[in-house]
A and B are shown apart, each in its own frame.
Chain A
Amino acid sequence: MQLMQIRAYWRQVRLLLVILTSYLLGGCAPVILVSTEFPRPLVEPLPIRMGVLLDEELLTYEYEERIPQQATYIIQIGNANASMMNQLFQPMFAAVEPVNELPLTEIDSSRIDGVLNPELDRYEFDVPIGQSDEFVEVWMQYLLRLYEPNGELITEWPVSGYGKAELMRTADRTNAIGRATVLAMREVGAVIATRFAEQPEVEYWLQER
């Protein structure tokens, strides 16, 4: 009889624990604000006056994903996008100007040779579920579009980056996602800074200037 009572009591405790865990996991959505200072690339500037069009979507980019058995992660990348693009393009060209729309006005067209419009196309991340995994991985793909001042598309270049960060502690997941995202963005920046002029359409466009 006593054993039956203990079993019934244990079942109630188990149910309570399950409800409490579900409530905590469902209610906690870690918000990760990716924020860092990106370095200026050490590259020779191209003799081009470039306009840069940063869309609202890029500047407020937010990624949300629910990971089973963990939580819903919200990753805010908008600020980091703005910081990276500003640092990246300035040293790459002889002159850089922000622009608000395409096609450019006649006055702007006389000063600007082309317009770059980056877009964060895809963001994926992987956090370990088991105890044996020790790394958080992030994969990102940007689309870098180059336009003529009249709005004609010259090329669309997909650039991807990968970042991996070690989990120092089990509770370190949010920090590690932020660190891996920054590494992936740096990788994207490195590819753009070193290989932009080598893209066949860009190369042809540069020769025509």
Chain B
Amino acid sequence: MWPYYSKKCLSTIRTMAPRTYLLALISLGVLCGCSSTSRIEPYKQTDAVLGEDERIVILPRRHHASHEAEESFVDCVSDGLARGDEGLGVHISTAFEDRLYPWFEPSTAPLSIDDFSELMKNPNIHEQVRLSKVRFIVWLDGSTDRIASGGAISCAASPYGAGCMGLAWWEDDARYDATVWDVLNLSSAGTIYADYNGRSAMPALVIPIPLVVRPQALACRGLTEQLKQFLTTPDGYEPGPELSAN
């Protein structure tokens, strides 16, 4: 559907005058190119909230190499939760992994709350978790992937000048799951699913103009806001899908 639409748009504007062509290309980029859709599904199973002296830790799921959450995404969510006047107490992920080494490495990390409960029976591990003051462990799973791309831009240079011509577009999808474990009650507190899709475009008439949508940054912002609400609101946290498109 989209490549056909793109070809049709291009064939129409090729017949136009240069100024109209430029306007058409920019408009095409804005109208056809940049768009994003988002979907957040939170589900909270308990009324537990983060206490005053308690912390959370954000850990990436790394037992499957193909789609583990990126370091930059984990840092983005951690920083987002800690930032601001109402920032939460966030334990540094690497420091937590070091403190509990080797029990949170990819091959040894607990995959379920039952595994974690079993791990907590070890008095040394229990003591280290207690000393860390971590109340909730948030496991981030997912990745941002390029799901489609198309179009072409040709550039040429000569002694009299250089320039580019054409239109390129690409579509990225950021899908992440945040699974929250309550360390105190040794239970699963809930999950938040975030799916952000963004279509970017780069029309070029002499100069390429990138019109970029960053779904990973949007997913980070959306997930951080939901997590903040999740960890601080005992009641009135409405589970259910939130759909938006722009």
Whole-angstrom CA separation of A137 from B68 in the bound complex: 13
Interface membership of B154, Cβ < 8 A: no
Residues of B within 8 A of A137 (CB): 65
Q: Is the CB of A190 within 8 A of B65?
A: no
Give B68's nearest chain A residue, CB to CB.
A164
Q: When the two chains form the complex, which single residue of B62, B99, B102 contacts A189, counting CB atoms closer than 8 Å? A: B102
Range class of the B interface residue count: 20 to 34
The interface stretch among B103-111, B134-142, B184-192 is B103-111
Are B106 and A42 in contact (CB-based, < 8 A)? no
CA distance A9 to B105 in the complex (A): 58
Please count how many residues in chain A sit with their CB below 8 Å of the partner chain's CB atoms: 23
Task: Identify whether the interface residues of A are mostly helix, strand, loop, or mixed.
Answer: mixed
CB of A168 within 8 A of CB of B100, answer no
Interface residues of B in 151-188 (CB under 8 A from A): 158-159
A89 interface contact, C-beta 8 A: no
B46 within 8 A of A: no
User: With a CB–CB cut-off of 8 A, which chain A residues contact B106?
Assistant: 162, 187
- 18 A-B pairs with C-beta separation under 8 A: A6-B158, A39-B99, A39-B101, A42-B124, A42-B128, A43-B102, A132-B146, A137-B65, A164-B62, A166-B70, A166-B71, A166-B72, A168-B72, A189-B102, A190-B105, A190-B107, A190-B108, A194-B102
Q: Which residues of A contact B (CB under 8 A)?
A: 6, 9, 39-44, 132, 134, 137, 162, 164-166, 168, 186-187, 189-191, 193-194
List the 7 shortest-distance A-B pairs measured between CB atoms, nearest first.
A190-B102, A190-B105, A39-B101, A39-B98, A166-B71, A193-B102, A166-B70
B contact set with A: CB distance below 8 Å? 62, 65, 68, 70-72, 98-103, 105-108, 124-125, 128, 146, 158-159
